């Protein structure tokens, strides 16, 4: 069974740091691109960051609001995706989902999602 399981969320003070993890199973993790997508309470979906697989140089890309503060990484030996979040502010409060990017030719979509982990930034 294909599964993504996030962990590491919680309550953190403004300016603090947190590292999220996403454990993947049921598919060949090192063959896929992965992303983090977040959703603030009662709001829509916002893409946060992407990391390509090793064959594509593990290239990373970030949304403007998190660039320079968040770092996406992966450990293919552990089938795990990470999101290191620094200098957190209240606007980062959200449920964070990890997602597998599936593709056909140049078409890409979020084909598999984790259950999400809640990050709350508050004093």
Partner 1 sequence: DIQMTQSPPSLSASLGNRVTITCRASQSISSYLNWYQQKPGKAPKLLIYAASSLQSGVPSRFSGSGSGTDFTLTISSLQPEDFATYFCQQSYRTPLTFGGGTKVEIK
47 near partner 1 (CB under 8 A): yes
**Residue closer to partner 1, measured from CB, 82 or 97:** 97
- The count of residues interacting with partner 1 (CB under 8 A) is 22
What are the Cα distances from residue 16, in Å, to 9, 29, 40, 103, 113?
13, 30, 18, 36, 26
Q: Which of residues 15-44 bind partner 1 (CB under 8 A)?
A: 35, 44
Residue carrying structure tokens 């063959």: 31
11 near partner 1 (CB under 8 A): no
**Residue closer to partner 1, measured from CB, 39 or 79:** 39
Q: Which one among 21, 71, 110, 118 touches partner 1, defined by CB under 8 A?
A: 110
Say if CB 59 and CB 52 are below 8 A apart. yes
Q: Which one among 8, 9, 16, 116 touches partner 1, defined by CB under 8 A?
A: 116
> CB atoms < 10 A from the CB of 91, how many?
10
109 near partner 1 (CB under 8 A): yes
Least distance in angstroms from the C-beta of 113 to partner 1: 4
Nearest-angstrom CA–CA distance, 42 and 10:
18
46 near partner 1 (CB under 8 A): yes
What are the Cα distances from residue 63, in Å, to 4, 55, 60?
22, 23, 11
7 near partner 1 (CB under 8 A): no
């Amino acid at each position: 069974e294909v599964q993504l399981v996030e962990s590491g969320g919680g309550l953190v003070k403004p300016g603090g740091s947190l590292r999220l993890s996403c454990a993947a199973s049921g598919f060949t993790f090192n063959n896929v691109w992965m992303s983090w997508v977040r959703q603030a309470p009662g709001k829509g979906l916002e893409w946060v960051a992407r990391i390509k697989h090793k064959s594509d140089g593990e290239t990373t890309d970030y949304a403007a609001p998190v660039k320079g503060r968040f770092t996406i990484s992966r450990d293919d030996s552990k089938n795990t995706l990470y999101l290191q979040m620094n200098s957190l502010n209240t606007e980062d409060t959200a449920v964070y989902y990890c997602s597998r990017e599936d593709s056909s030719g140049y078409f890409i979509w979020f084909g598999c999602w984790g259950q999400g982990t809640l990050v709350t930034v508050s004093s």
